[in-house]
Structure 1
Amino acid sequence: MDLRTLNRTTLQRQLLLGRSSGLSPYEAIRHLVALQGQDPNPPYLGLWSRLESFTLDALTGLLHGRQVVRSSLLRGTQHLCAAEDYVWLRPLMQAPMSRARQGSFGRATRDLDLEQFAKHARELLEGRTLTRPELAALLMERYPGYDKLALGWSAQALLPLVHTPPNGTWNRRGATPFTLAEEWIGRPVESAPPVERLITRYLAAFGPATVKDVQTWSGLTRLREVMEAMPLRRHGELYDLPDAPVADPGTPAPARFLPWFDNLVIAHADRSRLMSEQARRRVCPGGSLVYPTFLVDGIVGGIWDFVDGDLVILPFDPVADDDAAELTAEGGRMLAFAGFEAGSVTWMPPHDGTTTTWPPSTWPGPR
């Protein structure tokens, strides 16, 4: 499969070749499996770029209605997903979350009986919501001498917890609240969900993909034997669902803005279907940072952000006049969606990322 066909197929499955009018926000979240949610606003912007007539209240209502939950999931990072998916997705994430906890806090908690610790943390959360610092302070009373940060993060890694609204809704930040998932959702998590379910859902939204792609996105390991045993279609090293459509490579790709941490940008080990290696290094410069990007003809063309009520666009290379006009119009619509009706679209000169001024020292963080 050539790169252009792969690009168009992925964009089609990501609802980025044309905004969907047939999917509700809830159905779109289920299709996309989970939305990256370290910051509250990116999931809203990601859905706006993919759905017709999407409003802020649509997602906020799903969070307050407990149909969608926010929690530590893929790769141990915060995501939004449907509650009915959380109950099987969270147990599959226990192994990578335990590895991450051990790597960060294993030494600080080496004498801790983790099973007993998790039981005590659950007892402290039964029937109430606590922030991580509040929970850690209570755990310190039972486990004096341990690092407070290690106790709070260990509880988060070992227990199925959700972060309840209004925290995590549009522009609402602050200390992360913890609530037992089974109490918030009203049902326990599954005991042994099949990993094939996760692979199937990933391919439907991000495929075709390699084994490494699935592992990069999920944080799981040793999936090759599992995928080879599944009834999947093969395109060389790429796996796909047997009946999944392949897009016409000639399909036009409209201008689109992707928010901070958008899953599409980090959902594959090989990101050449979406950007060059040089662009990848600029968009994902290390650590957990993933800049918001814009697409020109389906390919990442640069980064953007809201700055003092305006939309600032920084291209990596010169953008053709027609493409720039399309992006400016799309950017104006995004400003209005985000509540910056009086804002304007500002273009910065192309920046090739080869000097010490990259990334811009004044470039803001997610907000």
Structure 2
Amino acid sequence: MRRAFAVIELSWAQVSARRLARHRLSAPASGAAPDAGRVADVVSAICGAHAQIASAAELSVGLRVPGATRALVRRALWTDRTLVKTRGPRGTVHLLAAADLPMWVGALSALPVPSSERSVAVLTPQQTEQVLAAIADAVAEADLTTAELTEEVVSRTGPWAGDLVMEAFQDKWPRWVAAMTAATRSGVICFGPNRGRVSTHTSPTRWLPDFVPMPGPAALAALVRGYLYAYGPATPAQFARWLAVAPGWATLLFDSLDLTEVTVGGTRAWVAADDTEFPDDRPSGLRLLPYFDAYAVGCHPRERLFPGAAADRALAGGQAGNYPVLLVDGVVAGVWHQRRSGRSIRVTVEPLGTLGAARQRALGEEVERVGEILEGRASLTIGAVSVGPHA
């Protein structure tokens, strides 16, 4: 239950400074040489890295681990397996810390099923169970493309599973695909390494041999705690938006947990009851965040993170993440784009205001770091970005 003590009053500067530090954007992870374990620790701290665009995920993680490159992120994912690629918050593709997978699967399995999924009636409950069992058996020791997985599922269930009844843009998908979301949410399946440009699917037990989902209530409590660590203070409505669930359901969840109420500029929000320390330092630093970076997508309120002209220039219909952003002192201060040709990476940055000499030097250093992470040679142009938002 929420504790009824004197409400802590916080400034936006305090909140922003804490979030930057916890996202490793003001003080990136330090210590020994970067390795797959430290990469996973950072991904865990930010509750996952959006990975619909693989290069953006690699950059997002690399920016937070000094000395890291995209090769290290790939090694953590496919060789050391401290990361796993699967669907996380909002059903979008994420890199998650493999050690957190039992919590994620337990929490996602405990979420209310969206009405859009309930309306998909191409599979009966019994057929869904058959498909899930067939998927689990098929990927237990193999990385399979969707076409290969279709053959395996049909051979284990029957021709009905392969009927082309699912709408798929200008095509049709086989019936069994209606169970794919449930398979991912319940931990039956995750992504395997690409085969050329084609995605594969495999079993999470290949990352965690003793994988068992955490019980739902404990998993949801752990997920809220992780979210508030990275993005708090936050409201139930903000958590609901991040996870794509109903605000009323999120409010009931918050009410059931041990949280502390605070105010930020007079607005109520919550943090974990034992995590109420905030820095007195002001947010500082300059960073280039890629498409769908966790900080830009997960932090609220939007009007604080995208003040004034930033909302018009860097949001797409109110949606964050569709533009890579220039972050200055914890708020969005421009957009940017990178174009690669071989090892050459041309970075164009469009600031929304004038950058002084110190900021320009910091921007040059950040562009150089982008090149190092992406294993190329980056050059900087300050000017208009003509590329539109990513879908």
- TM tier, shorter chain? 0.7 to 0.9
- Do structure 1's residue 196 and structure 2's residue 227 form an aligned pair? no
Give 1:79's match in structure 2, choosing from 85, 89, 94: 94
Q: Which amino acid aligns with 1:15?
A: R
Give the TM-score, by structure 2 length.
0.78
Structure 1: runs of 5 or more not aligned: 352-359
- Taking the aligned partners of 1:152 and 1:283, their CA distance within structure 2 comes to 39
Structure 2 residue aligned with 1:156: 180
Aligned identity (percent) is: 22
Match of 1:219 among 232, 244, 247: 244
- Secondary structure at the counterpart of residue 25 of structure 2: coil
Distance 1:228 1:99, change over 3 A: closer
SS in 2 for 1:346: strand
Identify the range of structure 1 (230-239 vs 144-153) with the bigger mean alpha-carbon deviation. Answer: 144-153
Q: Which range is displaced more, 313-322 or 281-290? A: 281-290
User: In the alignment, which residue of structure 2 is the partner of 1:117?
Assistant: 131
Report the Cα offset of residue 87 of structure 1: 1.5
List aligned pairs for 1:125-144, cutoff 5 A: 125-136=139-150, 138-139=152-153, 141-143=159-161, 144=163
Superposition TM-score, scaled by structure 1 size: 0.83
1:267 is displaced (CA, Å) by 0.9
Q: What is the alpha-carbon distance in structure 2 between the residues aligned to residue 35 and residue 245 of structure 1?
A: 25
Residues 1:279 and 2:303 aligned together: no
Pick the aligned partner of 1:29 from 36, 43, 54.
43
Pair 1:298–1:268, CA change in 2 (3 A): closer
Quote how far apart the aligned CAs of 1:278 are.
5.0
Given candidates 269, 277, 286, the residue that maps to 1:245 is 277
> Which 10-residue stretch deviates more, 115-124 or 70-79?
115-124
State the superposition RMSD in angstroms. 3.0
> Are the counterparts in 2 of residues 328 and 345 from structure 1 also a CA contact under 8 Å?
yes
Q: Could you tell me how far apart the structure 2 residues matched to 1:85 and 1:154 are?
A: 26
Q: 1:60 to 1:100 in 2, by over 3 A?
A: farther
- Cα 1:264–1:117 change in 2 (3 A) is same
2:202 aligned to which of 152, 173, 179: 179
Shift of 1:76: 0.5
Q: Quote the Cα distance in structure 2 between the aligned partners of 1:3 and 1:88.
A: 30
Residue 153 of structure 1: CA displacement? 4.3
The C-alpha deviation readout for 1:10-34, integer Å capped at 9, x for no partner, is 1122111122204822221222221
Please tell me whether the aligned partners of residues 50 and 93 of structure 2 are also in contact (alpha carbons under 8 angstroms): yes
Contact 2:59 2:290 (8 Å CA) reproduced: yes
Separation in 1, partners of 2:84, 2:361: 37
In structure 2, C-alpha distance between the alignment counterparts of 1:98 and 1:124, rounded to whole Å:
25
Report the 3-state secondary structure (helix = DSSP H, G, I; strand = E; otherwise coil) of the residue aligned with 1:182.
helix
Q: Deviations over 1:276-322 (max 9, x none)?
A: 26534543415796221111122111221211321111223443443
1:260 aligns with 2:295: no
Structure 2 match to 1:356: none
Structure 2 CA distance for partners of 1:151 and 1:93, relative to 1, 3 Å? farther
CA contact (8 A) 1:162 1:184 kept: no
Conservation of the 8 A alpha-carbon contact between 2:70 and 2:375: no
Q: Could you list the runs of 5+ residues in structure 2 that have no partner in the other structure?
A: 1-9, 33-37, 167-171
What is the distance in 2 between the residues matched to 1:54 and 1:244?
31
- Contact preservation (8 Å) 1:254, 1:298: yes
Name the counterpart of 1:58.
72
2:336 equivalent to 1:295:
no
Per the alignment, residue 46 of structure 1 pairs with 60
Give the C-alpha shift of residue 79 in structure 1.
0.8
1:323 matched residue in structure 2: 359
Higher strand fraction: Structure 1 or Structure 2? 2
Q: Could you tell me how far apart the structure 1 residues matched to 2:134 and 2:112 are?
A: 19
Q: 2:3 is matched with which residue? A: none
| CA contact 2:13–2:283 (8 Å) conserved in 1 | no
Task: Tell me the alpha carbon deviations over residues 321-352 of structure 1, each in whole angstroms, 9 at most, x when there is no partner.
Answer: 432332122212322332222x3101114x8x
